[in-house]
Amino acid sequence: MTAPSTAVPPTARPAAVDQRLARATAGLCRDHPHVAPAVRGVLAPLRDRVRRVHAQCQDAEAAAWAVYTADLDRGLDELSVEIGRAAQQPGRAVDDALATAAVRLELRAWQLRLRTLRGEGQDAREAEQLADQLDRRLAEPGDATTALADDLAALRQAVTAVERTGPIRN
């Protein structure tokens, strides 16, 4: 579904990832037309949120950016499979699959941002701990989309605190 990663100049990185997300959204809507409104309802706001994070990650090392985009591509590919499976189940399975995938994809963007900041101090440690906690929660089976969203909101606030107060390591 997604294109392989190629070297992109740092200033073009946010637009390149935004295009990946746009293509993935269009592909998911094409492949799963019965859930297209739900796909757009989750992935459009995700694009907006990660676009802002990506704009702050232009200083990321090329290797870290490559790992991030490869993980993004893999996550988007897996989302198509998850939606196909979830669509065969009754209830809110598709909504839950979309919400969980969106949290996972946004988490990866925030983790990249934390690596780019290279902050030190209590704020940075707390942000890294929140990211690790959310990563562990995503690995657990279960239906906890509200808790995931709450954890993600806490991580956003923590990274903002690092951006305001955290010195940059060299």
Q: Taking the CB of residue 95, how many other CB atoms lie within 10 A of it?
A: 15
How far apart CA 86 and CA 98 sit, in angstroms, is 9
pLDDT band for position 6 (50/70/90)? low
Q: How does DSSP assign the chain, residue by residue?
A: --PPP----GGGHHHHHHHHHHHHHHHHHHH-GGGHHHHHHHHHHHHHHHHHHHHT-TTS-HHHHHHHHHHHHHHHHHHHHHHHHHTTSSSSHHHHHHHHHHHHHHHHHHHHHHHHHTB-SHHHHHHHHHHHHHHHHHHS-S--HHHHHHHHHHHHHHHHHHHHHPPBP-
Q: How confident is the model at residue 170 (pLDDT cuts 50, 70, 90)?
A: very low
**What residues does each domain of the chain span?**
10-165
Structure tokens at 145: 């989309």
For residue 168, the cross-strand partners are 119
Burial of 4 (0-12, 13-18, 19+ CB in 10 A): exposed
Comparison of pLDDT for 163 and 28, the residue scoring more: 28
Minimum mean pLDDT among 15-29, 47-61, 78-92, 114-128: which range?
A: 114-128
Kindly report the CA angle at 74 between 11 and 40, in degrees rounded to 5?
80
Q: What is the pLDDT of residues 94-128, one digit of tens each?
A: 998 999 999 999 999 999 998 888 777 788 889 89
Q: Quote the pLDDT of residue 90.
A: 78
The pLDDT of residue 143: 58
Residues 7-13, mean pLDDT to the nearest whole number: 84
The pLDDT of 125-148, averaged and rounded, is 83
